Chain A
Amino acid sequence: MEISAIENSYLKHGTKYKGILGWLTSTDHKRIGLMYMYAIMIFFLVGGLLGGLMRLELFRPGQDYITAQTYNAVFTVHGVIMIFLVVIPGLAAVFGNILMPIMIGARDVAFPKLNLFSFYIYIFGAILAISSQFLGKGAPDTGWTFYAPYSTDTNTNVVAAVLAAFVLGFSSILTGLNFIVTIHRMRAPGMTWFKMPLFPWSLYATAWIQLLATPIVGITLLMIIAERWFKIGFFDPNLGGDPILFQHLFWIYSHPAVYIMILPAMGVITEIIPTFSQKRVFGYKAIVFSSVAIAAVGYLVWGHHMYTAGMSVTARWFFSLLTFIVAVPSAIKVFNWISTMYKGSINLQPPFFFTMAFIFNFMIGGLTGLVLGSLATDIHVHDTAFVVAHFHYIIFGGMGFAFLAAIHYWFPKIYGRMYNNKLANTSCALIFGGFTLLYFPQFIIGLQGMPRRYFDYLPKYEWGQVFSFFGAIVLGIGILIMLINLFKSARKGKIASSNPWGGKTLEWTIASPPTVENFEEIPIITEGPYEYK
């Protein structure tokens, strides 16, 4: 009987086409979400291998395996892939697509065709990004930040990379728009705003950032192209432009973009903790308001990336003050998560282990963020390995671990099968241990003054690079074990019940995997999302 759940599910039924075409032409939000997931995993592996290549080169000072030019191209693609192809779409495009409609009791998103279209824009952008490596005069070497005037001046194939980021921005905007309309218009009867689960809430806050902030970077990227092709002087001082203007425009988007990555991650964590504690989430409204506060105030702190860029003193301290204030809602969330565990009945399953690792990493990332938000200390550690460690703690240690937690949490729902628990726990331990060994030393050598984006370095920083290299290896092994476990289980794993963890949100009330229509009958909502008894 349970096998038939898989036979009846969206995995087997889609459009009129069979096989791969049935996936590529499907407007089913679950299929689109899964396609995003496979694409993102491939890009993540490519980006990760490039990261490993950098670590290998940095293992010893001096030039060992690749040239400086190649190194610079490698960290540029690594950054472009990880930021624009992996973490920005990341949770929203994958789990937002697969689960958000179900969690609010809808059959699909508001504009299913637009949703598929966004996916193809994403793929088109990805192809552009990858081809920038091979076409034209050499792979781009500007870093993912494309700082002018270097980016308007270098000989390499910057236009293709910039265009890729521009195209990917469209995909992000359209997904955001789709989610906003879906959440406004398609909640099940009775699901008021404050009866909506917190993962959809976090996606809602994120979607507004996507919609409002992405156009700014879009225009900025076009300005670079205009400058390169038509010699219009926006940023290049040789043409009468202002290089600092570029940095402002870039960070007005890219700081909020940090929240595009982390808010859905917080949302995932907020779903997992109540389920595995069998407890109502502590401070539902506080979590909602802090998401919205982060999204709103997050717009106003971009200047903290530019403390050394010659802004006026007033601007510098004002950005610092706002940065400290925006840290508070994040802290509140941590308090809420931990107090949700208090007096719960905690079921230590793989998603929960990933969640604990998330909380720990996120605290380190956040607390070191305070060092970067503070004026005096940031002047010292800005543009050093300390920053590299900080953003990897937030992006990988935070968003990345939340992604892994989410896969392990919703895996039985998505595939109707279970993975091997022991292997999942082992991979979690290896990934956490490897990650720590990889990035923690970077904090210390950063404090010692090791600048970032350095192909070569002084011998006094070598010890940290050696630790990081071995950390990367452990991390890689952990990821490999996890992928093997998940891939095997998706096809051969034990059949899962419709609610293996005892969750309360709507996705756990329907079959695993869901049918194409999700719900036979749209449920009528009478109580909040986490009403454990």
Chain B
Amino acid sequence: MLLQVASNFVEGVDKAFFVIMGIGVFFLVGLTTLMLVFVFKYNKKKHPVALQIKEKTYLEVIWTVIPLIIVGFMFYYGYVAFMPMREAPKDALQITAVGKMWEWNFIYANGKESKKLVVPFNKAVNLKLVSLDVVHSLYIPAYRIKEDVVKGEPDFMWFIPSQKGRFDIFCAEYCGLRHSYMSSEVEVIDEAKFNLWLSIIEKKSNKEEFPGFLVLKNNACTGCHSLDGSRLVGPSFKGLYGRDEVVLTNDAERNQKVDDAYIKNSILNPDADVVKGFNKGLMKSYQTVLKEEEIQQIIEYFKTPDEK
């Protein structure tokens, strides 16, 4: 098989696919052959005079009615495989899938959060889809399911994993710069193992309890600025406060120590001083988005040293 078979929906979807493509290939091959036969047989050299044939109404009726019946069939197969996707069992395990630029976050009923979607084998799972910003789309090819994740319009998708292992999760709806990196994984494990995994809630570090940290998360700042020092679209936040940066101001290089004023200005006028090695025009001004108070909270968060 081309693709992994890993959920309860695969069979129906693949069947609809084979029915439609089967009929499709039959017509494609049949009509192409017919066309080629005509082109050879009625070639000008062999068949110098065209025969004007009368139109045959019965033919036209046949080739209107038969395709109508065939597409009726195709519709039916797609319909029956689709309908169950919109009827989640009541006792399904509820997980909230949060999409934001450009990462997925899965939140379980007991408050556990995870970047990976860990689910128990052979149990129905119902994902509540929530977006914090633009439209995303949660796509699991091995499960044949996908549903858009839209801010303000909560939606759901559900499935029963029928295979243990790990399967790709992609974002399928274009959502900006790092759209193609907005991926994750489903990990399907035994129920017992799952319950154990679920019960371990890593204590959030003190720093993550800061209001400023929440502001960063909710405004998707961390989509572009990593917290662990890795390079994304913008400079990492790790060890930011007090760092010496080389910035370009009006194309002139200069040194800048990161302090309160610099942070605030970088939030309100991102293109005024651009850290060397990064691009202008990618970050928008948060003038109308963040309140003064929130900016102060962010600065407070940056000022706090990392624990350990």
In the bound complex, do residue A341 and residue B2 qualify as a contact, i.e. CB atoms below 8 Å apart?
Answer: no
Beta-carbon nearest neighbor of A136 in chain B: B281
Contact: A156 with B78, CB < 8 Å? no
Whether B273 sits at the interface, judged by CB under 8 Å, is: no
**Chain A interface bracket (under 10, 10 to 19, 20 to 34, 35 or more):** 35 or more
Asked whether any CB of chain B lies closer than 8 Å to the CB of A483, the reply is no
Partner of A244, one of B49, B150, B281: B150
**4 smallest A-B Cβ distances: which pairs?**
A449-B141, A374-B78, A237-B152, A376-B81
A237-B152, A363-B28 known; A341-B38 Cβ under 8 A? yes
How many A-B contacts are there with CB distance less than 8 Å?
Answer: 265
Q: Chain A residues with Cβ under 8 A from B112's Cβ?
A: none
Q: Mark B123-141, 1 if CB is under 8 A from A, else 0.
A: 0000000000111010101
Q: Chain B residues with Cβ under 8 A from A9's Cβ?
A: none
Binds A, one of B164-172, B192-200, B207-215: B164-172
13 A-B contact pairs sorted by A residue (CB < 8 Å): A141-B176, A308-B172, A316-B82, A335-B31, A342-B38, A345-B47, A346-B38, A367-B27, A377-B20, A380-B146, A449-B3, A449-B142, A449-B168
Q: With A and B bound together, what is the CA distance between A359 and B52 in angstroms?
A: 22
Residues of B within 8 A of A457 (CB): 180
How many angstroms between the C-alpha atoms of A30 and B86 in the bound complex? 55
Closest chain B CB from A457 CB (angstroms): 7
Query: Cβ of A26 < 8 Å from any Cβ of B?
Result: no
A137 and B79 in contact (CB under 8 A), knowing A150-B134, A345-B50?
no
Give the complex CA separation of A455 and B174 in angstroms.
Answer: 11
The CA of A154 and the CA of B3, in the complex, are separated in Å by 35
Interface string of B181-199 (1 = CB under 8 A from A): 1000000000000000000
Closest to A75 in B: B174
B11-19, B240-248, B257-265, B290-298: which one contacts chain A? B11-19
Does A67 touch B at the CB level, under 8 Å? yes
Minimal beta-carbon separation of B42 from chain A (angstroms): 5
A273 CB, min distance to chain B CBs, angstroms = 10
Interface residues of B in 1-54 (CB under 8 A from A): 2-3, 9, 12-13, 16-17, 20-21, 24-25, 27-28, 31-32, 34-35, 38-39, 42-44, 47-53
Contact pick for A324, options B12, B38, B60, B72, CB 8 Å? B72
B77 close to chain A: CB less than 8 A:
yes
Is A48 on the interface with B (CB-CB < 8 A)?
no
Instruction: Determine which of B59, B170, B174 lies in contact with A147 in the assembled complex, contact meaning CB atoms within 8 Å.
Output: B174
**Chain B: CB-nearest residue to A352:** B39
Docked-complex contact A309 and B176, CB < 8 angstroms: no
Given that A363-B28, A379-B82, A383-B137 are contacting pairs, would A308 and B74 also be in contact in the complex, using a CB cutoff of 8 Å? Answer: no
Q: Is A280 part of the contact surface with B, judged by Cβ < 8 Å?
A: yes
- New contact pairs (16) apart from A237-B151, A238-B151, A383-B146, CB-CB < 8 Å: A72-B174, A72-B176, A149-B151, A150-B174, A153-B284, A156-B281, A244-B150, A308-B148, A370-B24, A376-B77, A377-B16, A383-B173, A448-B3, A449-B139, A451-B139, A452-B172
